[in-house]
Structure 1
């Protein structure tokens, strides 16, 4: 469901979330709900599932798990337990089902969380995912509503998975692109979350179904600021540019453009295919993090020390007439 449609459906339901136990509810499109538990600890709760995005069943299961776990990591939390939720057609190959489950279970175990069970239904289409419960110190959680003017924006994975997964369906991907996609999609955001907690950041979100610009807009509106992203700085997944120029996009690109029509601005100098990559839905994307400029390089160093990278992709400005702006930018990727 698009952000625009979701906001319309939820209108008038705010009273259901007026609960003193809720530290973070759904009002700001946060990645997960945060519920008070005991002194100094809160529960992080999330649920995510989707149909296959790759052909290999083990990788599909692992990607679905990484995607669900990401919401906990984006809030600065630690996954504790997970329940799988799955739908399969009647008579579906049991070995394929087993491979999907193993992929998901392997990734949950990698995260250090307990696999507590799950629920399955008969479905015309395949879908798979997890409900994840985590924990966080309320004083150290990373929300999406505390970005400040002057902050720098960092992204911890390249974008373009919508283009690559669409290319897989159209049989347009090269083997190297597919291998890189499998690795990126199944990679946990644990190290990025640990780096956030080590350095201390102002706000974060994971980049998934609403696309980079859609999730940036959520931070901007929740924090009452403007997020400015520079297209020249944004890293692209291997093969994403080539596939985007062949028109490989998910339906998320058009939904995000519709949502951002009144609250976003895209520099006409940005190529259309590149702009659509910034709009398109991502799966198991990286974290978009707002960091005090004095700590930006320390955040990158903390992530590099764990064998990963963070790209400086923009900045936070004082609130303006648009929540999010995509400029061409003059910077270089990685600068």
Structure 2
């Protein structure tokens, strides 16, 4: 089987556009309200949360997609990392996972074995247990996980709740969709692909554990709707924000590829979804595309008090060297999201506790 057949337009670039999905979901019938369902699909959050006792709630999520890289084992690791991330974005701990597999019967089972091996290794790294799964014959490869985690219902992170004056901290660089798109046409450098793969296979577990020491007002993971799409949901129609382009971490040569129009259809869906809420102040086209780019297994985006954000970045940089304060939350007035060309106020991340914090 050729690499081109295996690796099409995959990862989170394959997701339905947020605007289309919202129109479908809002028409679904709603049954009686269950007071123990703390977070459901109506909130556009990262996972569902169901309370089972005063201090315990279940976090449920699932995610699967087609391959975005050529190696089946690496694809399995990326898909699992992406699915597990929703638990961490809610402040939870991974407990169990179930495989979701779509696979052509004409393909070698060795390929499937490598995909599942990569996924299983990431579940183990997350401290979870792979407990089973479901597979169907399909015309194309798709893989992911259904994941169950646990969280204290009093300590759930939702993707809304950011407060004016908060700083916005992003833990990973942007550009995975653009780099993988460039790779599919043979234009991505090995260095850029290595950077993208390292990012997409790095669990958000350590970032989540580290951030629990801080006053997190809102959190989301940056995936298929791109940085700006998830930021729009974080504002929740209640606040606005300023983003400082020069502080945004970008992976490899993603900006160069974007300027050469090596971009994704998913990025254009994101532009259509959230573009009317964004004001770009002197930002070049390539930078806009990076901010709209669908991310696979992207980083966590936190909103928290500015003085705490500086310490958080200092703590994160050992495991997440690209972690940075990328913006600030403001009162709702004018454009919801303003992207400025310059850097934000200077800060000193090394005042954090650094690598001395051990969460394992």
Aligned pair partner of 2:113 in 86, 98, 104: 98
Residue 275 of structure 1 aligns with which residue? 288
- Paired with 1:175 and 1:204, the residues of 2 have a C-alpha distance of 32
Aligned residues between the structures? 333
For the pair 1:324 / 2:337, whether they are aligned, the reply is yes
> Within 5 A, what are the aligned runs for 1:1-335?
1-13=16-28, 15-16=30-31, 18-221=33-236, 224-267=238-281, 269-304=282-317, 306=319, 308-331=321-344
For the Cα contact (< 8 Å) 1:158–1:236, is it kept in 2? yes
Deviation at 1:14, TM superposition (A): 6.6
The TM-score normalised by the length of structure 1 is 0.95
- Paired with 2:34 and 2:213, the residues of 1 have a C-alpha distance of 31
**2:77 is paired with a residue of what secondary structure?**
helix
**2:174 is paired with a residue of what secondary structure?**
coil
The change in CA–CA distance for 1:136 and 1:159 in structure 2 (over 3 A counts) is same
For the Cα contact (< 8 Å) 1:217–1:227, is it kept in 2? no
- Paired with 1:139 and 1:270, the residues of 2 have a C-alpha distance of 40
Deviation at 1:305, TM superposition (A): 5.2
**2:173 is paired with a residue of what secondary structure?**
coil
For the Cα contact (< 8 Å) 1:263–1:322, is it kept in 2? yes
For the Cα contact (< 8 Å) 1:230–1:328, is it kept in 2? yes
The change in CA–CA distance for 1:95 and 1:227 in structure 2 (over 3 A counts) is same
Cα deviations by residue, 1:247-292 (Å, 9 ceiling, x for unpaired): 121212111111124333222x100011011011110000111010
The change in CA–CA distance for 1:228 and 1:272 in structure 2 (over 3 A counts) is same
Deviation at 1:141, TM superposition (A): 1.4
Deviation at 1:307, TM superposition (A): 6.0
Deviation at 1:77, TM superposition (A): 0.5
- Paired with 2:275 and 2:283, the residues of 1 have a C-alpha distance of 16
Structure 1 gap segments, 5+ residues each: none
The TM-score normalised by the length of structure 2 is 0.88
- Paired with 1:207 and 1:50, the residues of 2 have a C-alpha distance of 16
Structure 2 gap segments, 5+ residues each: 1-15, 349-360
The change in CA–CA distance for 1:178 and 1:255 in structure 2 (over 3 A counts) is same
Deviation at 1:39, TM superposition (A): 2.3
Deviation at 1:202, TM superposition (A): 0.9
Residue 4 of structure 2 aligns with which residue? none
